[in-house]
A and B are shown apart, each in its own frame.
Chain A
């Protein structure tokens, strides 16, 4: 039984998450028989609805052999270099969290330690001015990494057109041999051992499989039947409602995230939105806030219960996306967590009957990853400085132990301790912490190996090099237009 190969996988959920799972499984493990029940995705599934994505989407698509022409340009995506945070800390200018390096290391220590020393003697310019990607983003410019220039090593995410992206992924999945079954889920039949025997459609047909992937959104139509144990994160992540307005403007290379007394608003060109705490503002008032800010009328509010399943895999069912973890879209991790779970499943593909230890290991990695994403988001609230009651309460909440450790280490000496399964690079942590004015008390002693004058000169040179090279980078709009022209030629 141990040696019996996994044969049939059934993916439930017809949103981007489900199509990504089906396409990747079939493409990367072609011996599998992959069926998708393409039921309409839940309107509460953020992984299927949020246009902003992290750089991991590009790598995911490349692993499937989907290049930029199909995966980006024809799917109508814009490029994203990062996020501009405004109003998160009183009296502090806005800051950019970009997907790339901040400064270049000199000596044995990370760049941000040198910056901290400069900040303490009053000679520092804002931290994000040392980030080439942040400079590009602020200027509305975009180019992929180009060796030999300051813009050589950044990453980028996408602002996807959600519907076009899902249909691109669907076309690809069908092309590589995924079988699609349209219909709506009526229920789930369990076998004598309590595992899923069949997923039953409303039309009465039933579908069995060796392994079921639940991509149905927060309702978790499959995995939820096997038990609903969840870790609750609401003490640290206050927003439990999300409004989305499809604005369909030109995608922005720099997404804006603006703090509000009841949460935060964002704009990505493609979409605008408002994430808020229902205790701090009514749904009706929230809709007016968004309408006034954007002119667009939002959809009904999406409900978010911040938290995760410690066992996203149980028995013969694996929950991915919102079925596994519900989290507000701050920092755009919803689809990322789903893609990461898909990659992990392929890397540790089980047999027809999973052995307990592989389920345990999968869940261990998945939970560790989700919790560090939680920490990264909770950090935004914990270090924010605003006077509104909601913000005061979240800043005062006792942080989860792993985040508390990171914060204590950074507050003391700018150290960013290592954690397994971490999504965000150290420079990302530093960009947000420093951006919100959360500065270390002391300068790392190793910094003193480089004289102050040398550091100052080097920092100034780096900033100047970025400024000098910036005008040669095309605007985001020009770059996209050029890409399109290449396709039609």
Chain B
């Protein structure tokens, strides 16, 4: 039964980047009877989107919104992403992949990494860990195919995400949102009106003088955090002591090498550099700590490193790692950069936006917005931020690099207790701190621990009874199976051309 128009919750979204239009599209699609959606954005204000690498969760979001994969990929000039390659992180010259998939067959009473740890500690000559993960092997050979629908065969032991042009994703979602009834208003926010008693935001006033009233305000204004940060003054929890990078310089280039089905994160003297191949270009950027390198040096380092002809001037971004103490305060919920920032090392930006939207929909409030929905939302989002934070810190801390002051700093810094406990448990016993809720599950932690050279000193004693040569034979069989299956899969580029090629410019 449709709800009468006047009883619908009036949602006002401030900011029209990826976060704003994802929110608008999801709300109009999933709660059409419960809210009216108005989005205020200004063409005068740029969006941050610098070409985005995503996590597999995005597929569930798109599916829920009824988005056709091939069409979406063509429109956003997207490529497939099987994981992230980390280069030079533990030592210069190293390379490993954090795959969206398992190591080994992903089954058995004792996890695969225990066997691996034992063989390494016993001095066995092992191939690269990449060769015993189907997802890694597929990625390394530049191939792609959709995973098998059940998880039993090796070709079902992985997931995938996309690398796409964020500047094209927002307009695509805008179409969906506007079809669903979202109203867009062009304008810049001049003032925020608040209820004297409750402190809730009642309306935003534009520079044109227009007053846009709402029951629920969604702050998607990016780093400026116009509502939550400026108007409501919610404090910022600063994590830069552990995540010291605070700037990035970005510059796309023509693709002159392979269109890899993975993103690369290459460690640099004062941070790291991304490489995200799309259909029409490759995104590049250097995320750095300004305390350790000047803007000019960083820009030069990026220009030297990019592989193809630059397609734009270098663009600068500034940020600080951390989150607002609460993401939802009163009747204002911040989604995306307005609520917090974690550097794009593990492609979590869009994931955090998506989780906030999904959680907001699950906890969609009524008028007036009550504490119960807000508290549960904050509980969930805080947990997401905190767990990603630890995972990111691990990448910097688990290193032997001592070739620059930046790496000396992160290698020797004190990490949060929650992370040092995880590290200690891994180092001593090869165990993972178990939780079911959270974005990065066991194989992700295993990939980074082993990829960055932390080999456990102990392992599950139940595997001790297996003879080493039997283990090595088992590995060989596994590798052979992976190799022969991967060999049959299509090349990534040709898969895209057949499946989801972007429209060619006339």
Measured CB to CB, the residues of A under 8 A from B are 2-3, 5-6, 28-31, 108, 348-351, 355, 357-358, 360-361, 365, 405, 408-409, 412-413, 415, 417-418, 420, 442, 445-446, 448-449, 451-452
By a CB distance below 8 angstroms, the chain A residues around B231 are none
Contact B428 A6 (CB under 8 A): no
Asked whether B475 is an interface residue with its Cβ less than 8 Å from the other chain, the reply is no
A-B contacts, 5 of them at CB < 8 A, read A3-B458, A29-B462, A108-B64, A417-B379, A449-B30
Distance of A470 Cα from B366 Cα, bound (Å): 42
Measured CB to CB, the residues of B under 8 A from A are 1, 3, 30-31, 33-34, 64, 109, 361-364, 366, 370, 372-373, 375-376, 379, 421, 424-425, 428-429, 431, 433-437, 457-458, 460-462, 464-465
**Smallest CB gap from B426: residue in A:** A357
By a CB distance below 8 angstroms, the chain B residues around A360 are 421
Contact B461 A349 (CB under 8 A): yes
Contact A415 B464 (CB under 8 A): no
Distance of A478 Cα from B1 Cα, bound (Å): 48
Contact B464 A365 (CB under 8 A): no
By a CB distance below 8 angstroms, the chain B residues around A445 are 31, 33-34, 364
Contact A29 B461 (CB under 8 A): yes
By a CB distance below 8 angstroms, the chain A residues around B1 are 448, 451-452
Q: How far is the CB of A199 from chain B (nearest CB, A)?
A: 23
By a CB distance below 8 angstroms, the chain A residues around B431 are 348, 358, 361
Among B34, B364, B429, find the residue whose CB has the most chain A CB atoms closer than 10 A: B429
Q: How far is the CB of A160 from chain B (nearest CB, A)?
A: 26
Contact B464 A31 (CB under 8 A): yes
By a CB distance below 8 angstroms, the chain A residues around B465 are 30-31
Contact A442 B429 (CB under 8 A): no
Contact B458 A417 (CB under 8 A): no
Contact B464 A358 (CB under 8 A): no
Contact A349 B462 (CB under 8 A): yes
| Besides the known contacts A349-B462, A358-B428, A446-B364, 15 further A-B residue pairs in the complex with CB atoms under 8 A apart | A30-B465, A31-B461, A31-B465, A348-B429, A350-B429, A357-B424, A358-B431, A361-B425, A361-B433, A365-B434, A405-B376, A415-B363, A445-B34, A446-B361, A451-B1
Contact B366 A5 (CB under 8 A): no
Distance of A40 Cα from B414 Cα, bound (Å): 51
Contact B458 A2 (CB under 8 A): yes
**Smallest CB gap from B431: residue in A:** A348
By a CB distance below 8 angstroms, the chain A residues around B429 are 348, 350-351, 355, 358
Contact B425 A358 (CB under 8 A): yes
Contact B372 A409 (CB under 8 A): yes
Contact A418 B457 (CB under 8 A): no
Contact B428 A2 (CB under 8 A): yes
Q: A412-B372, A446-B31, A448-B33 are in contact. Are A349 and B460 (CB under 8 A)?
A: yes
Q: How far is the CB of B101 from chain A (nearest CB, A)?
A: 23
By a CB distance below 8 angstroms, the chain A residues around B31 are 445-446
Distance of A446 Cα from B34 Cα, bound (Å): 9
Contact B30 A108 (CB under 8 A): yes
Contact A6 B435 (CB under 8 A): no
By a CB distance below 8 angstroms, the chain A residues around B33 are 445, 448
Contact A420 B435 (CB under 8 A): yes
Q: How far is the CB of B34 from chain A (nearest CB, A)?
A: 4
By a CB distance below 8 angstroms, the chain B residues around A409 are 372, 376
Q: How far is the CB of B467 from chain A (nearest CB, A)?
A: 14
Distance of A418 Cα from B372 Cα, bound (Å): 15
**Smallest CB gap from A28: residue in B:** B462
By a CB distance below 8 angstroms, the chain B residues around A446 are 30-31, 361-362, 364
By a CB distance below 8 angstroms, the chain B residues around A417 are 376, 379
Q: How far is the CB of A163 from chain B (nearest CB, A)?
A: 31
Distance of A2 Cα from B121 Cα, bound (Å): 13
Distance of A360 Cα from B424 Cα, bound (Å): 11
**Smallest CB gap from B423: residue in A:** A357
Q: How far is the CB of B112 from chain A (nearest CB, A)?
A: 15
By a CB distance below 8 angstroms, the chain A residues around B461 are 5-6, 29, 31, 349, 351
Contact B437 A351 (CB under 8 A): no
Q: How far is the CB of A437 from chain B (nearest CB, A)?
A: 20
Distance of A442 Cα from B458 Cα, bound (Å): 52
**Smallest CB gap from B424: residue in A:** A357
Distance of A327 Cα from B425 Cα, bound (Å): 31
By a CB distance below 8 angstroms, the chain A residues around B376 are 405, 409, 415, 417
Q: How far is the CB of A426 from chain B (nearest CB, A)?
A: 13
Q: How far is the CB of B218 from chain A (nearest CB, A)?
A: 16
By a CB distance below 8 angstroms, the chain A residues around B434 are 365
By a CB distance below 8 angstroms, the chain B residues around A108 are 30, 64
By a CB distance below 8 angstroms, the chain A residues around B457 are 2-3
Contact B30 A418 (CB under 8 A): no
Distance of A28 Cα from B34 Cα, bound (Å): 54
Q: How far is the CB of A54 from chain B (nearest CB, A)?
A: 19
Contact B373 A412 (CB under 8 A): yes
Q: How far is the CB of A216 from chain B (nearest CB, A)?
A: 26
Q: How far is the CB of B32 from chain A (nearest CB, A)?
A: 8
Contact A355 B424 (CB under 8 A): yes
By a CB distance below 8 angstroms, the chain A residues around B460 are 349
Distance of A5 Cα from B434 Cα, bound (Å): 23
Q: How far is the CB of A24 from chain B (nearest CB, A)?
A: 12
Contact B458 A357 (CB under 8 A): no
> Which of A405, A412, A415, A451 contacts B370, CB < 8 Å?
A412
Distance of A28 Cα from B428 Cα, bound (Å): 22
Q: How far is the CB of B136 from chain A (nearest CB, A)?
A: 26
Q: How far is the CB of B423 from chain A (nearest CB, A)?
A: 9
**Smallest CB gap from A365: residue in B:** B434
Q: How far is the CB of A235 from chain B (nearest CB, A)?
A: 23
Q: A31-B464, A357-B428, A409-B372 are in contact. Are A442 and B366 (CB under 8 A)?
A: yes
Distance of A3 Cα from B429 Cα, bound (Å): 9
By a CB distance below 8 angstroms, the chain A residues around B436 are 418, 420
Q: How far is the CB of B118 from chain A (nearest CB, A)?
A: 11
By a CB distance below 8 angstroms, the chain A residues around B464 are 5, 31
Distance of A440 Cα from B241 Cα, bound (Å): 44
Distance of A2 Cα from B428 Cα, bound (Å): 7
Distance of A470 Cα from B361 Cα, bound (Å): 38
Q: A31-B464, A446-B30 are in contact. Are A355 and B372 (CB under 8 A)?
A: no
Distance of A442 Cα from B367 Cα, bound (Å): 12
Distance of A108 Cα from B61 Cα, bound (Å): 12
By a CB distance below 8 angstroms, the chain B residues around A351 are 429, 458, 461
Q: A358-B425, A420-B435 are in contact. Are A415 and B458 (CB under 8 A)?
A: no
Q: How far is the CB of B456 from chain A (nearest CB, A)?
A: 10
Contact A357 B425 (CB under 8 A): yes
By a CB distance below 8 angstroms, the chain A residues around B373 are 412-413
- Top 6 closest A-B pairs, CB basis? A412-B372, A357-B424, A445-B34, A355-B428, A357-B425, A445-B364
Q: How far is the CB of B327 from chain A (nearest CB, A)?
A: 17
**Smallest CB gap from B361: residue in A:** A446
**Smallest CB gap from A419: residue in B:** B437
By a CB distance below 8 angstroms, the chain A residues around B375 are 405
**Smallest CB gap from B366: residue in A:** A442
Distance of A99 Cα from B435 Cα, bound (Å): 24
Among A28, A31, A351, A361, find the residue whose CB has the most chain B CB atoms closer than 10 A: A361
> Which of B34, B372, B421 contacts A448, CB < 8 Å?
B34
Distance of A126 Cα from B30 Cα, bound (Å): 29
